[in-house]
Amino acid sequence: MAAIILFNSVIIVKFTRSRITPRGSPPWVDLSAFRERPYLLFSIGSFLIFEGIYFAYIYVRQFAQAHTGFTASESLLLLILMNGVGIPSRIASAFVADRWLGAVRTCIAVSIPCGIAILGWIGVHTHAGMFIWATVYGLLVNCAQGQLPAANAYFGSKDPEKSGTRVGMITTINSIPLLTGPYIAGRLIALRGGDYLYAQLFGGICILTGALFVAGSHFSGA
């Protein structure tokens, strides 16, 4: 994963150029952005959504092996499926956002069912159920992952002089739940002696609460 990120970063740095000559170095931090309600609400919402969505990627294989009788190789198919269905779903969500809803409303529209899907995972106990769930969640979570950065860019563009700073601030904030979310879920699983109920509730509630904050950012003037 690190090698892929490094390779892509080198290509981006080598070949991308700004269309407009920069006027000067913008500030690294713009705390005044958090005094704008839409920006603040979206920051909180995206943090909470990222807190909840990734634990399924980390633990779906272990869950399948421990609770639905999957072998190690069979459980790998679930992870491949969750990622594979993301190719068309990311394209479709981007098309919908561009043509009709916009990034913020599309983000809300996919995050709510994504949270519901995590809660629905609680009721999955069979091979077939796991494959169906992995397909549905993979479609939804990839849409959410695709639209959150687009919505972030939308809020960053409110002040063109500081757009890079504002986008970077939310991106930096969102790096925290990518680390803490799976860790907290793991601790909750351990607390239940290997049962996933608390972790599933944690993930679903985080995503749904985050979606409400993103909706608040939209209705407060986004």
Q: Kindly report the CATH number assigned to the domain that includes residue 58.
A: 1.20.1250.20
**pLDDT at residue 222 greater than cutoff 60:** no
Indicate the pLDDT class of residue 24, thresholds 50, 70 and 90.
low
Would residue 170 count as lying in a domain? yes
pLDDT of residue 28: 80
Residue scoring higher pLDDT (218 or 211): 211
Q: What is the pLDDT of residues 31-55, one digit of tens each?
A: 888 888 999 999 999 999 999 999 9
Instruction: Confirm whether 167 is domain-assigned.
Output: yes
26: left (phi over 0), alpha (psi -120 to 50) or beta: beta
How many domains are contained in the chain? Answer: 1
pLDDT in tens, 159-207: 777 788 888 899 999 999 999 999 999 999 999 999 999 999 999 999 9
- The answer as to whether 164 is a domain residue is yes
If one counts every other C-beta atom within 10 angstroms of the C-beta of residue 113, the result is 19
Q: How far apart are CA 93 and CA 53, in angstroms?
A: 17
Q: Classify residue 10: in a domain, yes or no.
A: no
pLDDT of residue 9: 80
Mean pLDDT of the chain: 89
Domain enclosing residue 147, as ranges: 42-219
Residue 6 covered by a domain? no
Residue 53 maps to a domain? yes
Query: Does 177 reside within a domain?
Result: yes
Global pTM reads 0.88
Give a yes or no: residue 5 inside a domain. Answer: no
